[in-house]
Structure formats: structure tokens, C-alpha cells
């Protein structure tokens, strides 16, 4: 898993209503993995590893004002997005960005606070995961 923390983080989510830019980000974690299977082939001295399907997730950690219901509902479980752009270092040509053409929010948690801010974490499954340089 890779964790990105910093004031320049950009996360944009696109759905039928337009593009939403998350503003209260504290950190964003990304994770990719592939299913693997090991099999023994007749005559071989070692098992062979076969790869299967990949899965990718994006975990968003935010501090939101308790009254910012619209912001919090952008990450309601079941919310679907037709586009994701994640830029760990902001909008900088040549820097890395992660894009996906579909994301579904699968989990959201809240942490209570004595201040006016609430810690919120949301996990999104990405149907695909492309790491590229920003144009």
C-alpha cells in the first residue's frame, strides 16, 4: 500500500452531476494486488505461480466539519463515479497521477471529535487503475 500525505493532494471524482474536487483531504492510500495461484505441474521440481485478476482500492482520509453533509455524502457507500483522478503532488506536468474510469464507494467510517471536525475515512474500489505521468 502506498500512502500520500500533503497539502497539494488533489482528488477529483466525476459522476453524472459533474466533477467534485475533495477539499478536506488529510491523506490518501492506494493499494493494488493480483490474485495468484500455485500449481504443481507434472515433472517440475517447483510449483508454478499463475496470476489472475487484479484489484485496486483508494482510501481517502478527511477531516470534515460536522455540518458539511454534502461533502460527507459524496462518500456514501454505494456511490458510483465514472471517473477518478488522484494527483499526490497536485497538478504538475510530468508528476504521477492515478486515473480510473469507474469507482464505487464500499465503506465509510466516522471518528467522533470534541472539536467541530469529524475524521472520515472512505474506501473506493477502482475497476481499473492506471498510473501515468500528468500531461
CA distance 97 to 91: 9
The pLDDT of residue 103 is above 70: yes
pTM, to two decimals: 0.82
Residue 72 counted as domain residue: yes
- Residue 91's domain spans which residues? 2-35+54-133
CA distance 7 to 135: 21
The pLDDT of residue 78 is above 90: yes
Residue 43 counted as domain residue: no
- Cα torsion angle, 100, 106, 110, 111, sign: negative
Question: Cβ distance 90 to 25 under 8 Å?
Answer: no
CA distances from 22 to 37, 40, 46, 94 (A): 38, 48, 49, 22
Band of pLDDT at residue 116, cut at 50, 70 and 90: confident
Band of pLDDT at residue 7, cut at 50, 70 and 90: low
Q: How many domains does the chain have?
A: 1
pLDDT for 21: 86
pLDDT tens, residue by residue, 31-43 = 999 999 998 878 8
Amino acid at each position: 500500500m502506498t500512502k500520500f500525505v500533503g497539502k497539494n493532494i488533489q482528488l477529483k471524482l466525476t459522476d453524472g452531476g459533474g466533477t467534485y474536487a475533495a477539499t478536506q483531504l488529510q491523506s490518501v492510500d492506494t493499494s493494488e494486488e493480483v490474485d495468484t495461484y500455485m500449481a504443481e505441474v507434472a515433472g517440475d521440481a517447483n510449483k508454478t505461480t499463475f496470476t489472475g485478476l487484479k484489484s485496486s482500492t483508494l482510501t481517502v482520509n478527511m477531516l470534515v466539519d460536522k455540518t458539511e453533509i454534502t461533502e460527507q455524502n459524496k462518500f456514501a457507500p454505494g456511490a458510483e463515479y465514472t471517473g477518478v483522478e488522484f494527483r499526490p503532488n497536485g497538478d504538475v506536468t510530468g508528476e504521477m497521477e492515478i486515473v480510473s474510469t469507474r469507482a464505487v464507494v464500499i465503506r465509510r467510517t466516522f471518528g467522533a471529535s470534541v472539536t467541530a471536525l469529524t475524521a472520515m475515512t472512505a474506501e473506493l474500489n477502482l475497476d481499473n487503475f492506471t498510473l501515468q505521468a500528468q500531461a
